[in-house]
Structure 1
Amino acid sequence: MIEKKDIALERAVLIGVVTKEQDEAKSKEYLDELEFLTYTAGGEVVKRFTQKMDMPNPKTFIGTGKIEDVRVFISENDIGTAIFDDELSAAQERNISKILGCKVLDRTNLILDIFAQRAQTSYARTQVELAQCEYLLPRLKGMWTHLERQKGGIGMRGPGETEIETDRRIVRDKIALLKDKIKTIDKQMAVQRGNRGKMVRVALVGYTNVGKSTLMNVISKSDVFAENKLFATLDTTVRKVVIQNLPFLLSDTVGFIRKLPTQLVESFKSTLDEVREADLLLHVVDISHPNFEHHIESVNKILGEIDSSDKPTIMVFNKIDAY
Structure 2
Amino acid sequence: MELLSALLTITVASIFIYIYSFFINHTTPRNLPPGPRPLPLIGNLHIINLKRPYLTFIELSKVHGSVFSIQMGMMKMVVLTGYEAVKNALVDHAEEFGERANVPIFEKMDKGMGLIFGHGENWKVMRRFTISTLRDFGMGKSTIEDKILEESDHLVQMFQSFQGKPFDDSVSINAAVGNIIVSIALGHRMDYEDPIFLRLLKLTNQNIQLAGSPMISLYNMFPGLIDLFPGSHKTILSNLTEINEFITKTFINHLKELDVDDQRSYIDAFLVKQKLEENNPSTYFHNRNLVSLVRNLFSAGMETTATTIRWGLLIMTKYPEIQGRNKFGPEELY
Do both proteins adopt the same fold according to a TM-score greater than 0.5, normalized to the shorter chain? no
Q: TM-score, normalised by structure 1?
A: 0.27
State the TM-score, normalized to the length of structure 2.
0.27
Q: Return the index of the structure with the highest Cα Rg.
A: 2
Higher strand proportion (structure 1 or 2):
1
Q: Which has the larger helix fraction?
A: 2
